[in-house]
Structures are given as C-alpha cells and as structure tokens.
Structure 1
C-alpha cells in the first residue's frame, strides 16, 4: 500500500466518523420535530371546539345586545316624553300656581297682621308674673 492509499483510507474513516457523529443529532432533531407536529395537532383539535363555542357565544351576545338596544331606545323615548310633559306642565300651570302661592302667602300674612293688631296687648309686668 502506498502512502496515497493509506491517506485515502484515513480520509474515508474520518468521513464515516463525521457522518455518524452528525447523524445522531439529526435523528434527535427529527424526533423533536415529530413530537412538535403531534403537539400542534393536539392543540388544533383542542381549540376547534373552543372556537365553535366562541362563535355561539358571540351570536348569543349579539342577540342580547339587540334586546338592550331596544330597551335603551324605549327608555330614551320615555325620557323624552317625560321632558315634554314637564315642560307642558310648567308652561301651563307653573305661572298660575306661583301666583296663587304668592296670593295665599300675602293673605296669610295680612290675616296674621290683623290678628296681632286686634289682640289685646299685655303689659310687660303682667307677662313677667
């Protein structure tokens, strides 16, 4: 055997060792990718029912929101009618009621003043005793 053949055999053995050493991490990487694929499939299978339930929930929420919108519109109409009724009451009866209240207050004060004038006055000495 010549020196060239021995060098070729050494190179071939070194290449085989290199291939074996690189094959072990590649096999482990392949197993890891297989496990990751299985985990992703399981996660996908688990999220599918969740997403369908979320769709049902959103439909229910939208239905409830439509009902709430109807109630809000009704409450707004009631508030507008109450405001209109209050305005009408104030315009129609507010002025005359204030005048009647002022008249009754004035009559009451006049009656009290008349009673004080017609009542007999007691002297300060008789009030002390």
Structure 2
C-alpha cells in the first residue's frame, strides 16, 4: 500500500466538507421550495379572484358609459325643448300681444280725442 499524500488528505477533507455543505443545505432548500409552492398557489388564487372582479369592473364602466351617453341625449333633448319653448313664447307674444298693443294705442287715441273735444266744449 502506498502512503497517502498530504494532497490526497486535503482532497478528502474538501470532499467531506462539500458533502456536509450539501447535506445541511437540503433542509433549507426544501423549506424554500415549499414557500415557493405556497407563493405560486397564492398567486393562482389571487388571479382566480381578481380576474372576475376586473371583468365586473369593466362591465360597470361600460354601463356607466352607456348611462352618460343617455344623459347626453336627454340633455340635448332638454336644450332643444327649451329653445322650442322660447321660440313659441316669442311667437305667442308677438301674435297675441301685438293686437293688444294696437288696441291700447287705439284706446289711448280715442281717449285723447274725447279729452280734446271735452276741453273744447268747456
């Protein structure tokens, strides 16, 4: 048997050290693996619950947009109605009011004429 050299002893010690490092690293690596598995499961559950909420929010926003468009139509119709009422008021005032103004002017002229004739008689 050949004598064991100092280099071989050093290599054997290094190999045993590496073996101990691997042995003691297995447990923390297993714990890390478990934590990563739980994290992946949590992300999966979060995604399963979040996607329907996002879909519902998108539907809500679309519904709100429809309501705003309807409100715009109602506002435009109200503005048109206001313009129509204003035009109708102007038309009625000019149609009905003009004869009353003419009648009033005529009545004032008649009154003035009778006033003058009474003043002349006195």
Q: Find 1:17's aligned residue among 20, 25, 30.
A: 20
What is the 5 A alignment of 1:18-57? Answer: 18-57=21-60
- Deviation string, structure 1 residues 76-128 (Cα, Å, up to 9, x no partner): 1122223334445666649x76xx6xx99xx9xxxxxxxxxxxxxxxxxxxxx
- For structure 2, the 5+ residue unaligned runs are 112-122
* Partners of 1:25 and 1:4 in 2: CA distance: 32
Q: How many residues align?
A: 101
Deviates more, 1:84-93 or 1:57-66: 84-93
- Deviation string, structure 1 residues 41-96 (Cα, Å, up to 9, x no partner): 101111232233223323332332232222111111122223334445666649x7
Other-structure match for 2:118: none
* RMSD (Å), alpha carbons: 3.1
- TM-score, length-scaled by structure 1: 0.58
Deviates more, 1:16-25 or 1:31-40: 16-25
Other-structure match for 1:126: none
2:71 maps to 1:73: no
Other-structure match for 1:3: 6
